[in-house]
Amino acid sequence: MSLWFYGYFNPSYLLIICASIVINYVLYRGMDAGKVPKKVLLSLGLIFNIGLIFYFKYYDFFLENINALFKTDFVLRHITLPLGISFFTFQQISFIVDAYRGEVRDYSFIEYALFVSFFPQLVAGPIVLHKELIPEFRNKEKYRPSFDNLSRGLMIFSRGLAKKMLIADMFGGAVDFGINQASVVAVGEGALTRPEIIILMLSYTFQIYFDFSGYSDMATGLGRMFNFDIPMNFNSPYKALSIADFWKRWHMTLTRFLTTYVYIPLGGNRKGKVRTYINTMIVFLVSGIWHGANWTFILWGVLHGIGQCINKLFHNVWRSGCGFLEKSMAGKLLSKLFGAFAWVITFAFLNVTWLLFRADSVTMWLQILKRLTVLNLDIREDMLEPFRIPKFSYLLSALSLPSSDGAALRISCALAMAFALIICLCCKNNYEREYKLNIRNMLFTVALLFMCIISMSSISTFLYFNF
């Protein structure tokens, strides 16, 4: 059924995922048999899996750059990216490496195939490890329906769906207008103004958060309905006070994969400060490349790597030179003020780099940032239209507030931004919240599902399906 679910997107790509599952399982069994050296089979597994991603995700990007650099005319293939290939391939890389290390138990083919293709986390993660999921498949107690898990899973799922349909898609409308406008008019009349750029950056910052966080909650909720615990992937990342803290909270299973299978094998922080910084930059470069075939993603990874290195440097300086201050009253106050300042800097950095992540090219990103220096405070209503609250102008008029359509849209936009920020900073995430089985939660869940289903009349796609 998981393969049927995957094939619904494009039946021809069933061949890809099935071939990937079979080849990786054969390599794992070969390691068990011991007739071929493990290092040879590990090398074949890495070449196959990385080659699979390269062909479908980076082949055209590679040829484009070869053509631009050497003035050649290699024909591009315009290959459609198979859904979830980055996720299920990384999952299988982790399995092959663990098998090489002797950390894999005796798994049947059906168990392995389900581990790779299990539909809740198949197309956009989390990146699950075999030791987290396959033992759950073997637990016979989980074969019986649990109405507690069904209920709590449905509550988690509905809240994730609401994050996506009701919040992320609202911000997505403003992002689409802003990016389309930037691609048509870069400078001069009609280009984005300073307030529009700020709205664009904030909108994408909230869109990608609620989109991917919502998807991860949906995956967790679906897993819970089947009595399975899918690992946590988000821990309120916009509460982070540093880039290091952000990456401990954002897409946690990707961070875990890169730490376990790239950073530590490179030597981690065990070979001196210089190597630590080099290894950190390599990890973030891999993260950027993994996200997409565009120089924007590569530069995004490099900038986050630099941010991580600066964070390590300042953290070491603080611990060695100013750590004693934290024990005093003045030091505690200073620490709180520094924490607030650190949050502002971190959140601003995330906004600027998320804009790079969304831009069509590095040139577009630079042009948009340059427009911030132009003093123009106009905001087009098309930019604000996604935030429209029906009949809101009548309410403003009743409160003796500015009630023109333009004023109502500006206030609606400000309220939407404030609402999203409050959720990110003040509310418990779905992993921290207790889901009590009562009438209030039931009615709230039904209401959310009803509003989400009504919202499905519009076109909606998950952002991370692109990565």
One DSSP character per residue, 130-154 reads: HHHHHHHHH-GGGGS--HHHHHHHH
Q: Which of 22-26, 30-34, 341-345, 395-399 has the highest mean pLDDT?
A: 22-26
Q: Residue 44 has which token pair?
A: 């074949």
Over residues 320-337, mean pLDDT: 63
Q: pLDDT value at position 400?
A: 72
Q: How confident is the model at residue 401 (pLDDT cuts 50, 70, 90)?
A: confident
Active site members: 291
Q: How confident is the model at residue 358 (pLDDT cuts 50, 70, 90)?
A: very high
CA-based R_g, the chain, Å = 24
Q: pLDDT value at position 177?
A: 93
Q: How confident is the model at residue 322 (pLDDT cuts 50, 70, 90)?
A: low
The answer to whether residues 289 and 301 touch, using CB atoms and an 8 Å cutoff, is: yes
Q: What is the DSSP string of 80-95?
A: PPPTTHHHHHHHHHHH
Does this model's pTM top 0.85? My answer is yes
| Angle, helices 109-117/14-33, rounded to nearest 10 degrees | 140
Domain count, the chain: 2
Amino acid in position 97:
V
**121 and 230 both lie in a single domain:** no
More confident site: 313 or 281: 281
pLDDT above 80: residue 189: no
**119 and 181 both lie in a single domain:** no
**350 and 442 both lie in a single domain:** yes
Instruction: Pick the closest to residue 415 from 438, 443, 386 (CA basis).
Output: 386
**15 and 126 both lie in a single domain:** yes
pLDDT above 70: residue 304: yes
Q: How confident is the model at residue 336 (pLDDT cuts 50, 70, 90)?
A: confident
**48 and 182 both lie in a single domain:** no
Separation of alpha carbons 407 and 405, rounded Å: 6
pLDDT above 80: residue 319: no
Residue 90 in domain: yes
Q: Residue 355 has which token pair?
A: 């804009």
Residue 27 in domain: yes
Q: How confident is the model at residue 140 (pLDDT cuts 50, 70, 90)?
A: very high
Please say which residue of 138, 160, 184 terminates a domain. Answer: 138
Q: pLDDT value at position 272?
A: 87
**Domain coverage including residue 45:** 2-138
Residue 300 in domain: no
Q: How confident is the model at residue 34 (pLDDT cuts 50, 70, 90)?
A: confident
**In Å, how far are 26, 246, 294, 446 from 431, measured between CA atoms?**
36, 17, 33, 20
Instruction: Pick the closest to residue 291 from 239, 211, 200, 354 (CA basis).
Output: 354
The answer to whether residues 371 and 197 touch, using CB atoms and an 8 Å cutoff, is: yes
pLDDT above 70: residue 27: yes
**57 and 91 both lie in a single domain:** yes
Residue 311 in domain: no
Using one digit for the tens of pLDDT, what is the confidence trace for 232-290?
Answer: 899 999 999 999 999 999 999 999 999 999 999 999 989 888 999 999 999 999 999 99
Sign of the Cα torsion 168, 169, 174, 176 reads: positive
Instruction: Pick the closest to residue 216 from 108, 103, 328, 125 (CA basis).
Output: 125
**76 and 215 both lie in a single domain:** no
Measured from the Cβ of residue 441, the count of other Cβ atoms closer than 10 Å reads 16
Separation of alpha carbons 221 and 227, rounded Å: 10
pLDDT above 60: residue 201: yes
Q: pLDDT value at position 114?
A: 96
Separation of alpha carbons 253 and 86, rounded Å: 13
Please say which residue of 79, 104, 138 terminates a domain. Answer: 138
The answer to whether residues 216 and 125 touch, using CB atoms and an 8 Å cutoff, is: yes
CA 231 to chain centre: 15
Over residues 309-331, mean pLDDT: 66
**79 and 206 both lie in a single domain:** no
**In Å, how far are 51, 72, 73, 183 from 68, measured between CA atoms?**
23, 7, 9, 21
Give me the percent of the chain exceeding a pLDDT of 70.
96
**172 and 222 both lie in a single domain:** yes
| Angle, helices 295-321/329-358, rounded to nearest 10 degrees | 170
pLDDT above 60: residue 393: yes
Q: pLDDT value at position 331?
A: 60
Residue 253 in domain: no
Q: What is the DSSP string of 218-284?
A: HHHHHHHHTT--PPP--S-GGG-SSHHHHHHHSSHHHHHHHIIIIITTTTTTSS-HHHHHHHHHHHH
Q: pLDDT value at position 394?
A: 74
Q: pLDDT value at position 186?
A: 75
Amino acid in position 183:
S
Q: Residue 425 has which token pair?
A: 């900073």
Over residues 6-12, mean pLDDT: 89
Residue 354 in domain: yes
pLDDT above 60: residue 211: yes
Amino acid in position 105:
R
Q: How many CA atoms lie within 13 A of 432 on its CB side?
A: 7
Lowest mean pLDDT among 45-54, 156-165, 179-188, 394-403: 394-403
Q: pLDDT value at position 318?
A: 56
The answer to whether residues 234 and 218 touch, using CB atoms and an 8 Å cutoff, is: no
Please say which residue of 93, 115, 138 terminates a domain. Answer: 138
**51 and 104 both lie in a single domain:** yes
Q: pLDDT value at position 105?
A: 87
Q: pLDDT value at position 87?
A: 93
Q: pLDDT value at position 321?
A: 52
Over residues 103-110, mean pLDDT: 93
**167 and 124 both lie in a single domain:** no
- Provide the mean pLDDT of the chain: 90
pLDDT above 90: residue 61: yes
Residue 73 in domain: yes
**58 and 204 both lie in a single domain:** no
Residue 323 in domain: no
pLDDT above 90: residue 355: yes
Q: pLDDT value at position 325?
A: 55
Identify the burial level of 269 via C-beta atoms within 10 angstroms of its C-beta, where 0-12 means exposed, 13-18 middle and 19 or more buried.
middle
